Structure 1
Amino acid sequence: MTGKSPMITLNNGVQMPALGLGVFQASVDETADAVVSALQSGYRLIDTAAAYGNEREVGEGVAASGVDRSEVFVTTKLWLDDYGYDSALRAFDTSLAKLGLEYLDLYLLHWPVPSTFERTVASYRAAEKLLADGRVRAIGVCNHNPDHLHDLIDRTEVVPAVNQVELHPYFIQQAVREANTEYGVVTQSWSPLGGVNVYWDGGRKAADNPLAHPVITEIAARYGKMPAQVILRWHLQHGLSAIPKSVKAHRIAENFDVFDFRLTADEVAAIDAIDTGERGGPDPDRH
């Protein structure tokens, strides 16, 4: 074990590890082993989604890890095809059965879908029922811009505990983070290393990879760390939760080995300054 993730207290008092493993694009053949590697390296947060097609393998990995279920924070997400009150409740049952779990730690709506926001609201009300029934410990959303978040909070009872959004040094989402903070919502970063710039929509040029940016690589050299470790440290020092994805055991362990150094305020600011303001993934207003 390389250390222990700091914990973030959600707005309902539940404790969530700040650093976790994401399994987006992890194949069914790789996922269980990746989860086992992560949990044996010290991770205690595993993030999946119905749309990823690997919930069953995540559950297998949790069961095979030797780590007690009560110590593992498991997140999954409702996909758009299942939006609506009754269909969301059915989809939750399906996800829970695939995971092989008695309860979920965090259930998220995957996208805001502003064009049919009534269904989003209905889905969130279903999540509120799951929370009230004790079937999930916390509920939240993904990819909600400030206006989406405001509209949802205005029409529902439970303020989301988490808003999981694309966030990395090239897209620092300052307005979203400020809105989340205002509402007491934790910001969680998907694609925290900026990989979305490389793999999404056929990929872009290497210059769009924050891991290769000179500011990042120079700080990494200064500390004897990898660029990914510097970026994850940046997330943590901003009070963000981050869920880097890898299926390689050495990379999974490396991404968790970020608790023995600390960036200076100037270094954090230097990384902030490489923001391009351009997202690499889908636009939440168009999804």
Structure 2
Amino acid sequence: MKIATFNVNGVNGRLPVLLRWLDESGPDVVCLQELKAPDEKFPAASIEKAGYGAIWHGQKSWNGVAILARSQQPVESRRGLPGDPEDVHSRYIEAVIGELLIGCLYLPNGNPAPGPKFDYKMKWFSRLNRYAETLYRSDRPVILAGDYNVIPTYLDAYKPERWVGDALFFPESRAAYQELLDQGWTDALRICFASEAIYTFWDYFRNSFARNAGIRIDHFLLNAQAARMLGAAGVDRDVRGWEKTSDHAPTWITLKSKATAFGKKRP
């Protein structure tokens, strides 16, 4: 099974890119972020014609997340992250697909920082960490996929010194991500590319993609059951070079039906 995450940076404006990638790559499950469309504007008919059932949580002009499943309908299990009923941002949606529980998230960017946006980012992160701890203990394989807006380590940025003043690389952001890993979650890309620089985002400016001046901010976190099924991981880097494409590239993992050596026990 192939599972992908893709910040589309506007699902309607990038719809030709999304549909082309779905056709060429054929993922079984897709987590989308930054739809930038209210619920009624989600291109459900086009997605269905491409062979995918979908659930989505939209928001006008900003945010928005969706989960697609090939030849089946995802069964929604949660819409919105628990812990703050006043938060109306569309940043989390969750579904059961077969034996898997999939959480699709779009963590706040947090810039400019310090300031209110960074404070919101860290509060959202705290809520995610609390909820993730309960998910980790699920008897199902659980995957938390999406745009985390966190550069976890110096290896995850082309020139990390240029990101020191950015909320994506603040010590607090990296520490919150590490707290997730300390619960037992496996960072699938980093497990598969232990010492290799691999990026998922390239800015539109300064010829970043051509120079491979990227960062890794799109992540798959797997609980122990899912980690033992991990087969491979990668980034469809060429999609970032397509015309009128997102500044992110689709990132993916494959799962095997049997356990592998990638899994680790909860500490």
Could you say which structure has the higher helix fraction?
A: 1
Larger RCO (alpha carbons 8 Å, 6+ apart): 1
Could you say which structure has the higher strand fraction?
A: 2
Per the normalisation by structure 1, the TM-score is: 0.40
Per the normalisation by structure 2, the TM-score is: 0.42
- State the structure with more CA Rg: 1
